[in-house]
Amino acid sequence: MVSKIFTLLVILFSTLSLIGQSSFETAYSEGSWPSVKNLQIDFYDNQENETFLPISIIKGNTEGPVFTMVAGVHGYEYPPIVAVQELLQEIKASALTGTLIVIPIASTNSFFTRTPFKNANDGVNLNGAFPGEVEGTVTQQIAHFITKEVIPKTNVFLDIHGGDASEDLLPFICYYNNEQKPEQTQLAKELSEVSGFEYIVSYPYTLKDNDPAKYVFKQAVQDGKTGLSIESGKLGNVQKDAVDLIKVGVYNMLDKMGMYDNAKRTDITHKHFNSQDYIRSPNQGIFYSDYKAGDSVEDGAVVGVIKDVFGKVTADIKAPKSGIILYKIGTPPVSKDETLICISSFDK
């Protein structure tokens, strides 16, 4: 009897694990060379939320590196989403070496409900949800899916962002300076340097193996992959130059990887930054600043003021050090402890 129950359980669990094999896994392993497969993965949670994750698997003429790019982790950041739409139309599988995994909009709920930063369903910011939870809310499940299914197949993981609805931003490319994985980090640095982005930011990497990575490309780095992120575009708008910069960046990286031949090399002198200082808002209020992303600031300079709703100044905002404004809040409302301005500089 025990063995019968055991047999039944084995059959049950093997059936479940077949069902459990995702359509992504099947499409990825069965796709011929060259081929394009577009999938929609559905997610539901016990709060009655539902959403979907679109994924395109582009297999080239021959096997080679696997390059993953994701846009729309923040669904209100439009230049990345528009750039990836154009790339999906332009890239020919027959001219590709290796595989592209493309997530054109990672937070479709945020996109279609025009919600900055968060999925409006569950209130979770996907950029902060990694490694995710298999039985969590829909956003946590999406993070878990990308961590378990997509990142393991990937050699290079590119996470494309821009300034969200309220963010003024200088375009830049960034990576983690992970000294534990020198080869992956070196590749991230080289891809940054060919990308066509003038500003290159490297972040210190201090994550322990069991610390939550929070961000998708940091998850990729924690899992031993080469991870990078682009920031281009601002203030919840579609700027054509920001879209074009992203596309050039992707094509130049694919060229460097020997995957696709459409590089547009530009002669630019890179500016490297490795240090970030964040000015946080001391209170809620209305933020006034004549500074823009890309402006240089001197240590101690007043870079803005906060007023209360009656127009009384409640705080002078001063730069904690000299550097360049990488991004700042570009619209009036601010909350207590929110990052008003990120100042970046280069420390030897």
Nearer to Zn ion by Cβ, of 61 and 125: the residue is 125
Nearer to Zn ion by Cβ, of 73 and 253: the residue is 73
Q: How far apart are alpha carbons 137 and 132 in whole angstroms? A: 9
Count of beta carbons in the 10 Å neighbourhood of residue 292: 13
| Cβ 171 vs Cβ 192: under 8 Å | no
Closest CB 327 distance from Zn ion, rounded Å: 10
Q: How far apart are alpha carbons 343 and 254 in whole angstroms? A: 30
Q: Cα–Cα distances in Å, from 100 out to 73, 229, 260, 273, 325? A: 18, 16, 10, 29, 33
Specify the amino acid at residue 245.
Answer: L
Closest CB 94 distance from Zn ion, rounded Å: 33
Task: Please tell me the total number of residues recorded for the chain in this structure.
Answer: 348
Closest CB 74 distance from Zn ion, rounded Å: 3
* Tokens standing for residue 272: 């490297």
Nearer to Zn ion by Cβ, of 45 and 159: the residue is 159
From first CA to last CA, the distance across the chain in angstroms is 71
- Sites of contact with Zn ion (CB under 5 A): 74, 77, 161
Nearer to Zn ion by Cβ, of 276 and 322: the residue is 276
Angle (CA) 279 275 124, round 5°: 60
Closest CB 81 distance from Zn ion, rounded Å: 11
Closest CB 99 distance from Zn ion, rounded Å: 25
Closest CB 236 distance from Zn ion, rounded Å: 11
Name the residue among 291, 287, 259, 217 with its Cα closest to residue 60.
259
Nearer to Zn ion by Cβ, of 79 and 304: the residue is 79
* Tokens standing for residue 154: 């990937």
Nearer to Zn ion by Cβ, of 74 and 181: the residue is 74
Nearer to Zn ion by Cβ, of 106 and 200: the residue is 106
Q: Cα–Cα distances in Å, from 58 out to 61, 96, 160? A: 10, 9, 18
Residue carrying the six token digits 């939320």: 49
Nearer to Zn ion by Cβ, of 77 and 168: the residue is 77
Closest CB 160 distance from Zn ion, rounded Å: 9
Max distance between CA atoms of the chain, in angstroms, equals 80
Q: How far apart are alpha carbons 200 and 193 in whole angstroms? A: 8
Could you give the 3-state DSSP secondary structure of residue 181? coil
Nearer to Zn ion by Cβ, of 225 and 234: the residue is 234
Closest CB 127 distance from Zn ion, rounded Å: 6
Nearer to Zn ion by Cβ, of 66 and 160: the residue is 160
Closest CB 75 distance from Zn ion, rounded Å: 9
* Tokens standing for residue 277: 């200082």
Closest CB 63 distance from Zn ion, rounded Å: 32
Report DSSP state, residue 214. Answer: B
Contacts of 112 (CB under 8 A, 6+ apart): 75
Name the residue among 105, 112, 177, 180 with its Cα closest to residue 146.
105
